[in-house]
Chain A
């Protein structure tokens, strides 16, 4: 216990010191605080984005769902890899150029100015905040579960520890230090994830490693080795739907804002390579092996069910921490502490970027954009910092009151919610004919449909959900956006000039075009 507390203290201290250093060297401008002064290069960006999207979910929720439902859920990862790469290949350069030319500080601001609509700014801000805020709170609670599995202490202590680190990091450091700290956090996280897998396989399956684990499953739980999985959940239709939901990762606001922090356009040429090679072909395969092979072969589902009953939680909740449980049981205690640090690193790296994004939207888009248009730089920055604390408290309350399976919260609530600004985003950047009436009507339609589809339950069935919560809501959103845009007057010439012609010319001239 003393070792665990010492390690957690040193780890927390390192992050706090890095945040303090970031505060000392920062330019104290809103642009510096919110977008790191637009100076993020490709390596820092890679750690920034990869670990912004690799949360406690990657270590707990993802393997947890694989453990209970088989390998089909991995289709979300393949879709996400395409979605993230697509964001940087297709939309990133234009979003970056627009923001840089016009000094925009948030992606919502880009769209509000593109459509020339304060109302759209409010609608997009509120809808993004509504879906991102609960997800922030899931991270500390996820750490709490691992903390409890390792130390036996109540989960709330792990959640509080993570929350304090998070607040200090974001308030002091701003976007630049959040990005830089993600390198440190990413290294800790990756070492813990890969190290734990390699060591656990060596200890648990000493004769033939992963082949031995697969043969154990083939004998005892063969449905784990293919779709639709042991519960029959991942039918061909669900597999395809999960893959499509993954592709929508391009619309995650805390990832999209990363494009605006880029130092120059060459980043968009190199970045997808890191996503494909390091993300798709290496990093995400580690938790997949943990959840679909090693954990189910090492710990039979009956044993986990008994543990869940003992702890008074559902099987899925217990499965969310099965990796930590196996590590605690089979590896030395000091390594279990290191793995917990890795999970905290994952949680902090994601929640910090989400918090930064949320606070930028609150400060720049809601307060300044709607109520105090003439606010000064230092006022915007101060509001953003105050918003950090408010968002953390709110998110923890919401997440605590509505605790559910971590993986399903991401795919069933957050991702469909994030996707509702996708038609306005894609149309705003690529389609000259898109209008503010179309963007407002489409977004409201999508959000209202999504909320209704999640809330309306008849005989235990969500009757408005077609396959997955995102499908019907996004389809309705897109159709309304396109139809209303076509029947309303096209945007004026100045909008076309500023948001299309000038951007094309800038992108061609800025780095030379062939």
Chain B
């Protein structure tokens, strides 16, 4: 981790991951995975519930960030 904070790409990477964690917690805290008060629960493709969809989106964000940083900017080969 020390090697990451020593260059701009690493710092951007760390900030992005931190923002995604904070953003995800804010999303959860604001009731993003709850059903509408008088409506039906959100289902993607007819079966994927919001707790699943939001988590998958979170993991994909981390995956893309990791791929870009580790395969193009990581200071160690």
Contacts and interface: CB of A to CB of B under 8 A. Distances in A.
Interface of A: 71-72, 74-75, 77-78, 81-82, 85, 89-91, 93-94, 208-211, 213-215, 218, 222, 225-228, 236-237, 239-240, 243-244, 247, 265-266, 269, 272-273, 276-277, 280-281, 285, 288, 292-293, 430, 500, 504, 507-508, 511-514
B76 A243 contact: no
A226 B77 CA distance: 43
A72 B51 contact: yes
Interface string B1-24: 111100000000000010001001
B18 to A, nearest CB: 11
Contacts of B31: 227, 236
Main secondary structure of the interface of A (DSSP, over half): helix
A220 B15 CA distance: 44
B50 to A, nearest CB: 6
B13 to A, nearest CB: 9
A266 B2 CA distance: 17
Contacts of B56: 280-281, 285
19 contacts: A71-B49, A75-B55, A78-B24, A81-B59, A85-B66, A208-B46, A211-B46, A213-B47, A226-B42, A226-B49, A228-B34, A236-B31, A243-B28, A247-B21, A269-B74, A276-B62, A280-B63, A293-B47, A514-B77
Interface size class of B (residues with CB under 8 A): 35 or more
B52 A285 contact: yes
B41 A239 contact: no
B51 A227 contact: yes
Query: Most chain-A Cβ atoms within 10 A of its Cβ — which of B24, B25, B58, B76?
Result: B76
Given A89-B66, A226-B35, A430 B1 contact: yes
B1 to A, nearest CB: 4
B49 A75 contact: no
A244 B24 CA distance: 10
Interface string B48-73: 01111001101110110011001100
Given A74-B55, A218-B43, 11 more contacts: A81-B62, A210-B46, A214-B46, A222-B41, A225-B40, A226-B50, A227-B50, A236-B34, A280-B63, A281-B60, A513-B76
A211 B45 contact: yes
A218 B40 contact: yes
Given A213-B47, A225-B35, A236-B30, A507 B63 contact: no
